Amino acid sequence: MGGVVGITALMRPREALRASGQPPAAAAGTLMIGGDLSVNRLGFGAMRITGPGIWGEPPDPAEARRVLQRAVALGVNFIDTADAYGPEVSERLIAETLHPYPRGLVIATKGGLTRPSAPEWVADGRPQHLREACEASLRRLMLERIDLYQLHRIDPRTPLEESLDALQRMQEQGKIRHIGLSEVTPEQIEEARGMVPIVTIQNRYSLTDRRHDDALAYCEAQGIGFMPWYPMAGGKLMKPDHPGAKAIAAIAARYSISVAQLSIAWLLHRSPLMLPIPGTSKVGHLDENIAAAALSIGPDEWDEIENAACI
């Protein structure tokens, strides 16, 4: 592509957002999950409010609670967590901080990965484990029903039908509203949809990591929500050793925005079914992330950004 021709609209002024009565996260638009859950299309991933390595208590519990409170204040009404985060720490902090939950707040969680030790993430899709995991999440989150319960990973040792049957039974019991999957291929999604309704997919995806383009295309064709985890690829574009870092940083600097904001805005631009869930343990980073909801860039600029990111 040629040179940058100009951003068509930068940040919507905060004054305009206040005048409209909309919180900042609402600038991302909305996504309907499962036909009955409308959420702002920029959520919050609660993995980072735990300790280092997603293990144990956060180093600053008060700041973790402020992050959760601030997310809701900014209009985030979709929070994604999992029993494996901590483990159990993320779910517990959410409930301790936000319960009783504000009207319209959707808390999604996941089961099916266990943490025998800090570096270990072990799939366990056995029906008994999933039943116990879901019941424990209900207690920790202080919920009667989990709006979106996701199979954290498909367990190669357990037939998928058995895992999904356990989730469907809990759905029939009123303990789960909707079912989602994480880190799956189009073939696995198709197989699962032959057994139970699947409303969301959560796969690793970012500006610099598009390994799941085929899964996203499948979701777009079927009207299934897509949640990208690791949405900023660990800050790769902010590291000088990434080949495209200099070009991306120059575009961001020209318009006084961060590379992180540019990365989140690209995800929102990439598909109307995209629901980014960037996480952080700092209020300042959270404010920056949510501000990306109001960033709009013209098509020529997106082409240049995408090309630079894939160098």
Torsion of CA 91, 95, 98, 103, to 10 degrees: 90
What's the average model confidence in pLDDT over 278-297? 94
What's the average model confidence in pLDDT over 117-146? 98
Q: For 259-281, what is each residue's pLDDT tens digit?
A: 899 999 999 999 999 999 999 99
Whether the CB-CB separation of 200 and 225 falls below 8 Å is answered with yes
What's the average model confidence in pLDDT over 169-197? 98
Q: For 137-170, what is each residue's pLDDT tens digit?
A: 999 999 999 999 999 999 999 999 999 999 999 9
What's the average model confidence in pLDDT over 25-47? 97
Whether the CB-CB separation of 116 and 84 falls below 8 Å is answered with no
Residue 297 is predicted with a pLDDT of: 80
Asked if the model's pLDDT at residue 12 lies above 70, the reply is no
What's the average model confidence in pLDDT over 70-77? 98
Q: For 232-269, what is each residue's pLDDT tens digit?
A: 765 666 677 777 778 888 888 877 889 899 999 999 99
Residue 143 is predicted with a pLDDT of: 98
Cα 142 from Cα 225, distance rounded (Å) = 25
- Provide the sign of the torsion angle of the four alpha carbons 179, 182, 185, 186, taken in this order: positive
Whether the CB-CB separation of 311 and 244 falls below 8 Å is answered with yes
Asked if the model's pLDDT at residue 8 lies above 90, the reply is no
Please state, for a pLDDT cut of 70, what percent of the chain lies above it.
Answer: 90
Does the annotation count 85 as an active-site position?
A: yes
Mean pLDDT of the chain: 90
What's the average model confidence in pLDDT over 117-134? 98
* CA 146 and chain centroid, separation: 16
List CB contacts of 189: < 8 A, sequence separation 6 or more: 181, 198, 201, 215, 218, 219, 222, 224
Residue 237 is predicted with a pLDDT of: 61
List CB contacts of 114: < 8 A, sequence separation 6 or more: 84, 87, 120, 121, 122, 123, 124, 129
Whether the CB-CB separation of 104 and 76 falls below 8 Å is answered with no
Residue 253 is predicted with a pLDDT of: 84
Lowest mean pLDDT among 38-42, 209-213, 273-277: 209-213
Asked if the model's pLDDT at residue 134 lies above 70, the reply is yes
Strand bridging mode 30-33 / 9-11: unpaired
Q: What is the pTM of this model?
A: 0.91
Asked if the model's pLDDT at residue 1 lies above 70, the reply is no
* Model confidence band, residue 14 (pLDDT cutoffs 50, 70, 90): very low
Q: What is the crossing angle of helices 61-73 and 283-291, to 10°?
A: 20
Residue 232 is predicted with a pLDDT of: 74
Lowest mean pLDDT among 14-18, 220-224, 245-249: 14-18
Lowest mean pLDDT among 30-39, 100-109, 210-219, 291-300: 291-300
Asked if the model's pLDDT at residue 107 lies above 70, the reply is yes
Cα 206 from Cα 229, distance rounded (Å) = 8
